[in-house]
Chains A and B, each alone.
Chain A
Amino acid sequence: MSAAAPVPQETAARRGGLSVSDLHVHYGATHAVRGVSFAVSPGQTLAIVGQSGCGKSSTAHAVARLLPAGTEMEGHAVIGDFDLAAATGRELREARGRVVAYMPQDAMAALNPVQSAGRQIGEVLRFRRGATRSQAADGAIELLEQVGINNPPLVARRYAHQLSGGMRQRVMLAIALAAQPLVLIADEPTTALDVTVQAGILALVRKLVIADQMALVWITHDIGVVAEIADHVAVMYGGRIVEQGPVHTIFEDPVHPYTRALVRSPRQSRDAAAKARFDAIPGSPPLGDFPPGCPFHPRCPHAMPPCSSEMPATQTIAPDHTAACHLIGAPR
């Protein structure tokens, strides 16, 4: 690699994790992500949870540098002393796959229909790590084995349409891992899968994240998945992180009214009485045009005068726990 591209190497010293600060994404006039900050340590998993349109996928695409052409982004995404958000041209290309890898939601569409699984995995080894054709083919089989595929030589010869949903997602994982990235961005990769297949992939990803000391950002709308995979949780609403903290704090001691509603949604409770008591949050999340003030105020049961005019500041509740709500510190 040239000296001009200070892309972090895979040395333990530089595995400082990912630190995102004040990230903004604009699609034309739509301000989809409005100042998002979070950090993920190596070997740790941050789940970003929220409903459709909350900006979680835009955040994922921005950090993975896969936003569509013409989309504006601002902010920083720092790994070691390398700012991924500022990388351009060759530096950015070098960073893709090796610094940050991406796992998409729809593996069927994300795999090239006319190339075998093995070739698509081996391609990373060939073009990014200088492997020869036969080294790449062997490497692809090894990677398939790592992601828990039975009979990897056979699956390597298969095409996307010949694989099951779970196998396709494992192939995507093998592609993501092929260049040994420091950060893995997973954009709801298990959403379309059966619960049992999903559980298998969650366990596998978790094991690999710890073994390879990657920083994992897992995007999901499914609070159940959060409980299974996350060390930390960031709850997004209206293009902002409304609450962030360790997974047990978010589940046991949430302070933001939206988080509270989310973790008490009926999936979380096996208690029939609790299900009966459950009240869905009235209304629906905003899409594109966010209301002034706190984005959640039109649906918030505790909304008060400043909520509709002033954006609540992010406040620190405990060293690891932050939330953005006017209720914090106010008499309830």
Chain B
Amino acid sequence: MARYLATRVALGILTIFLVVLLTFLLMFVVPGDPARTIAGPRATPQVLALVNANLHLNEPVLSQLGHYLAGIVHGDLGVSYVQDQPVASIIGARLPATIELGLAGLALELILGGALGVWDGLRAKRSRVLAVVNVGFLSVPAFSLAFVLLLLFGYVVAVFPIDGGTGGDRIVLPALTLGLFGMPYYANVVRDAMQESLSAPYTRTAVAKGLSRRQVLRHHVLRNALSPALTMAGLDFAILLSGVVFVETVFGWPGIGQLQTQAFYNVDRPVLMGTVVVAAVLVVIATLAIDLLRMVLDPRTRLGTR
């Protein structure tokens, strides 16, 4: 186990390094002069030269990469070109909001999609409810769903505040958008897994034991049927952690996604880079966590058991 963890952590660090490398090189393709961005359009050549020297911007690419990587190791992600604040503290201020929304969205997806999938999976034929959900939510773009919710519950029936920001029940609408958007994917996966599990020989064994329907479902069908949903949730969680741009933008949710969009428009390279690095770290941690959780739930994925 220790060896497995060491390998996974090493692979994780390698992944993060490669992501940093790739994004760092991409930054040089993006047009724009950082010194001009920082110092403003009327800065003198002397000022520009000073800025370039301070930020090592006149050094070769590899040397700049070296400075950046050395900074990361010390928790220093540079200083924003626009806000004149350390990137680490800008992101640190935004991260809790993203994690909060990510967890809430994931929980709603799993609960709504899982419940619908289990309910529908107990029927031999796909129910109309799932058919409607499939057509309704899969065909509607996520941002229009966000606007519909915004309009309905923020304006027509003003039950939730839509003034942006976090706190109170402001999380309900963005989380519900994520939940409803992800629901049909989970519902379909769980429905198929339910059907498979219900007709599996191990379920027949449970029936032959004389267990009640409830016991058969609870002890044999459900745990096997929910396992694929967990795999999906792992991938989803990684995506949600790196910030969901459209939901954060529509609801004015001050998370990483929104920050990233702003940084992109401002050509604020350190902030853009910082969000990518933080997202990579979070994705690596989330996938490892999900794999460990799978080992707890499914003995076939445990180590050294073959």
Contacts and interface: CB of A to CB of B under 8 A. Distances in A.
Contacts of A179: 209-210
B208 A96 contact: yes
A66 B207 contact: yes
Interface residues of A, number: 34
A97 B209 contact: yes
Closest 7 pairs (CB-CB, A-B):
A96-B210, A97-B210, A109-B201, A112-B202, A110-B201, A159-B299, A102-B208
Interface of B: 124, 199-202, 204-212, 215, 219-220, 223-224, 227, 297-300, 305-306
Interface string A4-31: 0000000000000000000000000000
A255 interface: no
A96 B297 contact: no
A128 to B, nearest CB: 5
Given A104-B201, A109-B201, A114 B210 contact: no
Contact of A175 (B124, B205, B219, B300): B205
B300 A98 contact: no
A93 B201 contact: no
29 contacts: A66-B207, A93-B210, A93-B211, A95-B210, A96-B208, A97-B210, A98-B210, A104-B201, A109-B200, A110-B202, A111-B202, A112-B202, A112-B219, A113-B224, A113-B298, A113-B299, A113-B300, A114-B297, A114-B298, A115-B219, A115-B220, A123-B206, A124-B209, A127-B210, A127-B211, A127-B215, A159-B299, A159-B300, A161-B305
Nearest to A92: B210
Contacts of B227: 114
A106 interface: yes
Contacts of B220: 112, 115
A101 interface: yes
A98 to B, nearest CB: 7
Please report whether the interface of chain B is mostly helix, strand, loop or mixed according to DSSP.
helix
A240 B167 CA distance: 73
Contacts of A128: 209-211
Contacts of A127: 209-212, 215
Of B206, B212, B223, B305, the most chain A CB neighbours within 10 A belong to B206
Contacts of A95: 210
B33 to A, nearest CB: 58
Contact of B202 (A64, A97, A113): A113
B145 to A, nearest CB: 35
Contacts of A123: 206, 209, 211, 219
Of B209, B297, B298, B300, the most chain A CB neighbours within 10 A belong to B209
Contact of A110 (B124, B204, B212): B204
A142 interface: no
A189 to B, nearest CB: 12
A289 to B, nearest CB: 25
A310 B215 CA distance: 49
Nearest to A119: B219
B211 A104 contact: no
A231 interface: no
A145 interface: no
A124 B219 CA distance: 12
A68 B195 CA distance: 13
Contacts of A162: 305-306
Contacts of A111: 202, 205
Of B202, B205, B300, B306, the most chain A CB neighbours within 10 A belong to B205
Of B199, B200, B211, B306, the most chain A CB neighbours within 10 A belong to B211
Contacts of B199: 68
Contact of A114 (B201, B206, B224): B224
Nearest to B200: A109
A112 B199 CA distance: 12
Interface string A146-173: 0000000000000101100000000010
